[in-house]
Amino acid sequence: MAMNQKQRDHFIDRVNDKCGSKIAEIKALNATVIQNISDAKYDEFIETLGLKVDMQILQEAEQVQEEIGVKIKGTLQGLEDLHPSYKKNRYNDDNYFYASSSTYYHCYSEFLKACCKATAEKEFYLTDAGKELKALEDTRQQAVDTIMMDGSNCQDLTQKLNGILGVSGLQLLANGSQLG
């Protein structure tokens, strides 16, 4: 008798559990490698996008604004006592001249770094650990596809899945256990 959807869902959950923990382990062990690839490629990445000069200008502008803002803030603090009514009448905000600085550079660079990291993750697949990760992800997908397309009963499917997962050193059921 072919499996029902509840049985298929159970098999998919088990495959995802078996593969997911090993995938997470590989990603965790190699997080530094991925970050190092990203860091090394960042300047090249923004250069390719034609943004390197613009980002440098934004960074310099932000630094200048911060430096000048600190200077002006010090002067304004010295003038508070000269015009106390202005301070109190300005929207009832005691800190009316404590404006925040522009953060274009910070926001844009964070986004660009995240994009660069996504690219680095793809490049990571070319390393030995990345190839292991890719093989494991492919194995998981093949196992899930087999579950969804296979009309076998649970015992036959278990054997097929153990064969698929065995390539990656995983086993759906250990020691001949039966699914309940």
Would the pTM of this model clear 0.75, i.e. be above it? no
CA distances from 8 to 14, 20, 146, 179 (A): 10, 17, 10, 12
Give the residue from 165, 112, 156, 116 showing the smallest Cα distance to 136: 165
Q: What is the pLDDT of residue 180?
A: 40
Q: What is the pLDDT of residue 176?
A: 47
What distance lies between CA 164 and its chain's CA centroid? 28
Task: Report the C-alpha gap between 36 and 129 in whole angstroms.
Answer: 14
Q: What is the pLDDT of residue 98?
A: 56
Residues of the chain with pLDDT under 70: 1-2, 83-101, 151-153, 173-180
Q: Where in the chain are the domains? A: 1-30+127-173, 42-117
